[in-house]
Chain A
């Protein structure tokens, strides 16, 4: 965190100054470790084993927060009889289709207390929906996101045993599942000595009770794995058991990689989501608005209002054109037909299925794993628009790519027409940043952008305007969505920038009177309200830009609720009903946050209660209650169908209801827990340009982990070009331990070459004791090579690109790449140049038993290329 989020780290330092213990778990000893109380060196890719060890420690020593667990989690729920755990199936759960790597989650369900309701007012339609969900094209598209932010639907409330003794309670299932995650196994799998593990376990559990809370902070070190979503799940289970969710000082805090990554998932740049985590409709599944909202129609929790959120969104986008009789223009929305995630799309480009592409604020030939494959993709487009601050590598690949030197690409064969458009920086435009706490902060424009540089808002608005003008007379139905859009923002200044505040107000939404809404509960499903992103509703309450509030912290209370605005409804800690006991009293004076005020008959406290303000703690939902009315007064997790924190996920994850340790796709050791080596659901994109290193191969004997440095920003477009930053880390380097340096004859400050079955790259070597071999309990020693990924050939500070070394394998939940752990070989000296580079990598592939990685023209398959298929290029 000190490395990549030094500004936010000031609060950690302040907490430390007040006596907080800081534990840093990382394969490397970083700037964070330097000021932490304890650095726990862990083998990359083994975090579930470590966190699972903590869960087992908590369960077997009765260290969990019992009242919290019984009341607020699903520990007492009974799991159905059909569920079979990984312990009994050698590492996979029941329901696996091994051929396609898909799970049918039916057997993971609860045992229901009542006959399962269909979730729909129309049982037949719901049944059709269910059948459609199992279609491979639907499964590929992203089932994990299909539930949106509301948590996946559950058919009915489960049977419960609040003594937690029934063998099929979630609690007992959890206990059995993690029983083998002992300190000894943690030592064997993670390389963490039992004594260090015990130290962590004591610090964490002693600091988690009525009076104290513990927070876990993570970043892409957890997400960028083939089981990344399950890493977070493991932490969630631990935190729920310890009562650390919904309470001040607790939680699982995701640090984002850029200033507004949170914002770009809330109002998404993702293929499978609409704003506010509404799932993108699927062509096979959702033929009408009714189909689309069917799964939520009878649902408990706030997600039960999906129709109101969707209709308001359609009204915001299509205005008067959206009417009840035309399904509020639901058919104007694009529908997904399968997996259109970023990496799949790169492969589709190589196969000639994609003709044009916009790159905005992204440098995939450096920032994505397998840069070579990404360059092949871009080389097979008809046109490419790059909007960036600098002439990044993704705009110059056609004449400067490393593959030009090897002869795999040539400007003469690349037909991609590249348009480079200069973009305005954050200081040159208005808008909001949404950070990890879901806090929206308004940015004012400090200076006008130079020359032709323009804001993204300007670009898309005027692009849309020009397209609409061109199509103004069109009668073609396919042009209706574009022509029906509300595209009427006030334009400001000489550059005619759309007014960003007007866009924010549109996102907020308006009521029947045309005034800004103040809460999403005001949204209606009859078309009388609008709202571009329901979770942001309230950011423009009272016609005031709430995100622009700047009342200093010293002038307000602990929570500083008048600085910016946090979704939903300015709540700073989510699920904060859990900061009070079931009766509504604070768990302790020290940790009082939100509580029930009996006299006033409402929830009150330091934060905006994340609960219906007047719902009594003793409220019990009547039979047949829907949406929020089905949530009891003791159910803090209001977005879940049962109002509980899920220790066990009966639905919603594609790779299992419980986290399970799997080795990474590329590992140097065997899975010590199960016969199943790596996750059975890993998403792969096979091709000659994306070969995979076999696990436990002596050809690729070392683990590689990639990361960022304080001095540079992601793929480097914003830092390698700046003199003051470039000189701080002036060239590409890798970090190795003295032991590995001796083993391979590497010298500090000299070059080394790293080879994988993708390519070979060279880097200067920094020999440091901060990198250390991980010694597993069975004596195996795992050497890890640290590789910062900022570099490529452009700018002032240059070098080979770390991501060229990595392959693309994905977590099927998220389509996120596993680039925190892979394998490679390292040897002293520089890499060969030209075609000899291909020969070197090809010789490694042969030795490792990997198929050839040779490609044809522009990276296309050699055979297909000669047949002239797969591209529009002739």
Chain B
């Protein structure tokens, strides 16, 4: 076990410029752990191979003994969301892994048939092999060839028939375990802390339910449990890590969409995967949360996405809410100084005039 240094990070002089923002090579060190702490770990969630089985959601709940979403097991309280196969909606106090389902479709340049009941339109003048097969075939041939290229190069797009490309994006979201974690910065009780693995964990026995962390998370991950008041979120299976086990979600994932490991190794793996996809022509592939120059100093749990982050319900440019604290304090101090100055000058000035 790594011990926490009794000397506060403020006196160690490590990365004084990046305590609240920007790259931070050693988050554990910054949090006060000795130099022999374990490597920082995290998740690389490669959505291009996600099959939407939700095993991560269930394994997470099972291991962490989380309650069912909002209904507490009451029959018929929750209902169909109507949003594809996503019925748990978003991350929250009771859902620490959440699989988003996004349906997209794009017509291929073929005449769209008219639709009716069978029999209604048997005399329909739609394309048939008898009349003008060449044109239709030529167009479709091209579209199929496009599809061949596309489907090969875009892992979550399926060519469906000749006339349609359907993309069903699936992505398992989780707490990002930010390098600069807003929740951690604002927690007044110390319930939220940085572990020796570089992850961010809430201690349920210390949290007093103040809720400051809830608006401080740029991703909307952390939340209070109804009827309890305390906040809960992914611990990256802190208890399993201390026993040398993988987090439950990564263990359950059948397709290695969720990969767990040392962050630097995951980053290298993700870079290679992105390069492969780019080489294959998947223009839309991108890494999200990988860049340590981003608004949270890079995330411990980052993603390979196939579309804009907004499509998955992720903020496009998350910024840790405490980034501007020093500036705010400086402004506040300046303002206070000015007020005092004005007040003093008023007092002094008035004396002088007397």
A residues apposed to B, CB below 8 Å: 2, 6-7, 9-10, 13, 17, 24, 29, 31-41, 184, 187-188, 192-196, 198-199, 668-669, 696, 698, 701-702, 709-711, 723-731, 733, 739-740, 742-743, 748-749, 764, 766, 768-770, 772-773, 775, 777-783, 795-796, 798
B37 to chain A, nearest CB (A): 31
What residues of B have a CB within 8 angstroms of the CB of A710 in the complex?
52-54
Closest 9 CB pairs of A and B: A749-B82, A723-B68, A779-B124, A739-B115, A6-B53, A34-B168, A195-B140, A2-B51, A39-B160
User: What separation, in Å, do the CA atoms of A668 and B122 have in the docked complex?
Assistant: 12
Q: Is B19 an interface residue (CB 8 A)?
A: no
B285 to chain A, nearest CB (A): 15
Q: Is B78 an interface residue (CB 8 A)?
A: yes
What residues of B have a CB within 8 angstroms of the CB of A10 in the complex?
254-256
B2 to chain A, nearest CB (A): 32
User: What separation, in Å, do the CA atoms of A677 and B123 have in the docked complex?
Assistant: 22
**Given A35-B155, A35-B156, A739-B115, A770 and B80 touching (CB < 8 A)?**
no
Q: Is the beta-carbon distance between B168 and A31 smaller than 8 angstroms?
A: yes
**Given A724-B68, A781-B118, A768 and B51 touching (CB < 8 A)?**
no
What residues of A have a CB within 8 angstroms of the CB of B126 in the complex?
775, 779
Q: Which residue of B lies closest to A768 (CB)?
A: B103
Q: Is B326 an interface residue (CB 8 A)?
A: no
B318 to chain A, nearest CB (A): 27
Partner of B80, one of A35, A36, A40, A730: A730
Q: Is the beta-carbon distance between B166 and A29 smaller than 8 angstroms?
A: yes
Q: Give the residues from 48 to 104 in chain B that come closer than 8 angstroms, CB to CB, to chain A.
A: 49, 51-55, 57-58, 61-62, 67-69, 71, 73-76, 78-82, 84-85, 87-88, 103
A783 to chain B, nearest CB (A): 7
Contact with A along B99-130 (1 / 0, CB 8 A): 00001010000000111111111111110110
Q: Is the beta-carbon distance between A724 and B121 smaller than 8 angstroms?
A: no
Q: Is the beta-carbon distance between A730 and B87 smaller than 8 angstroms?
A: yes
Count A-B pairs with CB separation below 8 Å: 210
Q: Is the beta-carbon distance between A6 and B254 smaller than 8 angstroms?
A: yes
Q: Is the beta-carbon distance between B121 and A779 smaller than 8 angstroms?
A: yes
User: What separation, in Å, do the CA atoms of A143 and B218 have in the docked complex?
Assistant: 68
**Given A37-B151, A766-B82, A779-B123, A743 and B161 touching (CB < 8 A)?**
no
A9-B51, A31-B51, A669-B118 given; 15 more Cβ-contact pairs under 8 Å: A6-B51, A39-B166, A195-B141, A709-B85, A710-B54, A711-B85, A727-B68, A731-B76, A749-B80, A779-B125, A781-B113, A781-B117, A783-B118, A795-B75, A798-B75
Q: Is the beta-carbon distance between B148 and A199 smaller than 8 angstroms?
A: yes
Q: Is B28 an interface residue (CB 8 A)?
A: no
**Given A38-B158, A729-B85, A730-B78, A724 and B62 touching (CB < 8 A)?**
yes
What residues of A have a CB within 8 angstroms of the CB of B168 in the complex?
29, 31, 33-34, 770
**Given A9-B254, A770-B103, A779-B126, A192 and B80 touching (CB < 8 A)?**
no
- Give 24 A-B contacts (CB < 8 Å), ordered by A residue: A9-B255, A10-B255, A13-B255, A24-B158, A38-B151, A41-B161, A188-B129, A669-B118, A701-B119, A727-B69, A739-B115, A768-B103, A769-B164, A769-B166, A770-B103, A772-B164, A773-B115, A775-B113, A782-B118, A783-B115, A783-B117, A795-B75, A796-B68, A796-B74
Q: Is the beta-carbon distance between B164 and A780 smaller than 8 angstroms?
A: no
Partner of B144, one of A199, A702, A709, A798: A199
A328 to chain B, nearest CB (A): 48
What residues of B have a CB within 8 angstroms of the CB of A33 in the complex?
158, 160, 166, 168
**Given A710-B53, A796-B75, A769 and B162 touching (CB < 8 A)?**
no
**Given A777-B128, A780-B122, A728 and B88 touching (CB < 8 A)?**
yes
Q: Is B159 an interface residue (CB 8 A)?
A: yes
Q: Is the beta-carbon distance between B159 and A727 smaller than 8 angstroms?
A: no
Q: Is the beta-carbon distance between A2 and B53 smaller than 8 angstroms?
A: yes
**Given A9-B51, A41-B160, A779 and B122 touching (CB < 8 A)?**
yes
Q: Is B224 an interface residue (CB 8 A)?
A: no
Q: Is the beta-carbon distance between B151 and A36 smaller than 8 angstroms?
A: yes
B18 to chain A, nearest CB (A): 37
Q: Is the beta-carbon distance between B85 and A34 smaller than 8 angstroms?
A: no
What residues of A have a CB within 8 angstroms of the CB of B123 in the complex?
779
B residues apposed to A, CB below 8 Å: 49, 51-55, 57-58, 61-62, 67-69, 71, 73-76, 78-82, 84-85, 87-88, 103, 105, 113-126, 128-129, 133, 137, 140-141, 143-144, 147-148, 151-152, 155-156, 158-162, 164, 166-168, 170, 254-256
User: What separation, in Å, do the CA atoms of A192 and B114 have in the docked complex?
Assistant: 17
Q: Which residue of A lies closest to B59 (CB)?
A: A724
User: What separation, in Å, do the CA atoms of A726 and B87 have in the docked complex?
Assistant: 10
Q: Is the beta-carbon distance between A34 and B51 smaller than 8 angstroms?
A: yes
Q: Is the beta-carbon distance between A726 and B68 smaller than 8 angstroms?
A: yes
Q: Which residue of A lies closest to B126 (CB)?
A: A779
Name which of A24, A727, A775 has the most chain B CB atoms within 10 A of its CB: A727
What residues of B have a CB within 8 angstroms of the CB of A192 in the complex?
161
**Given A6-B53, A727-B69, A749-B80, A778 and B137 touching (CB < 8 A)?**
no
**Given A38-B148, A749-B82, A764-B80, A780 and B118 touching (CB < 8 A)?**
yes
Q: Which residue of A lies closest to B94 (CB)?
A: A727
User: What separation, in Å, do the CA atoms of A778 and B125 have in the docked complex?
Assistant: 9
What residues of A have a CB within 8 angstroms of the CB of B78 in the complex?
727, 730
Partner of B87, one of A17, A728, A742, A781: A728
Q: Is the beta-carbon distance between B49 and A728 smaller than 8 angstroms?
A: no
A683 to chain B, nearest CB (A): 27
Partner of A39, one of B114, B125, B161: B161
Q: Is the beta-carbon distance between A772 and B68 smaller than 8 angstroms?
A: no
What residues of A have a CB within 8 angstroms of the CB of B140 in the complex?
193-196
User: What separation, in Å, do the CA atoms of A768 and B256 have in the docked complex?
Assistant: 28
Q: Which residue of B lies closest to A766 (CB)?
A: B82
**Given A710-B54, A727-B71, A778-B128, A34 and B156 touching (CB < 8 A)?**
yes
